[in-house]
Amino acid sequence: MQEIFLENKTIIVFLHVISAVVWVGGMIAMRFAAHQSFMTIESPQKRLEHIAHALKRLFTIVFPFVIILIITAVFMLIGYDIKNTDFNSIAHAKEGIWVVMFISLMVMISRRNKGVKFLNSGDTFRAKEQIEIIGKYMVPINIILGICAIFLGTLVSSSI
């Protein structure tokens, strides 16, 4: 694996960076652009339907990049032999961030799906209970975590 990394370092680091851009950038666009426009929709049922639809699009787009990010991370961990460098603790911090962001993404997907079931049965109140927390807290927290991981990545890349 180290040979594969050293021969393809540019493309592996590029895939790592573009995956972070799509995941974190996608959440920022959703939370600070699309979300604001959804809030102007009068009918709670219609508003939740649009939010649920946009979330499904977001999750479908970012999921492959979430997986590419961890695969490229493993290549870099082995390729750079990071455990024998000064960046081992930073790499562990990034691993921890990825795991928290990934679990949060899975919870968001399941809450969204539960919310849609309630919407389809006309139970707007419980649909709101399931979906509202995603935009209010879960996406902003994942954005902050992602920005921290990007900063740590820049720390590593500027001196590895």
Binding mask 61-90 for ligand HEM (x = CB under 6 A): --------xx--x--xx--x----------
- Closest contact distance (angstroms) between CB of 55 and ligand HEM is 18
Report d(CA 53, CA 73) in Å as an integer: 31
Find the helix packing angle between 88-120 and 124-133, rounded to 10°. 170
Task: Determine if 129 is a binding residue for ligand HEM (CB under 6 A).
Answer: no
Rounded CA separation 149/6 (Å)? 23
93 binds ligand HEM (CB under 6 A): no
Among 68, 91, 108, 131, binds ligand HEM (CB under 6 A): 91
Q: Mark 73-95 as b/e (b = at least 16 C-beta within 10 Å).
A: bebbbebbebeeeebeebbeebe
Among 30, 97, 119, 131, the residue binding ligand HEM under the rule CB under 6 A is: 97
Nearest distance in Å: CB 57, ligand HEM: 19
Contacts of 140 (CB under 8 A, 6+ apart): 31
Binding of residue 24 to ligand HEM (CB under 6 A): yes
Least Å distance, CB 26 to ligand HEM, is 11
With residue 112 as reference, give the H or E element that holds it: helix 88-120
CB atoms within 10 A of CB 47: 17
Q: Is 58 in the site for ligand HEM (CB under 6 A)?
A: no
Could you list the residues that contact ligand HEM (CB under 6 A)?
A: 13, 16-17, 20, 23-24, 69-70, 73, 76-77, 80, 91, 94-95, 97-98, 146, 149-150, 153-154, 156-157, 160
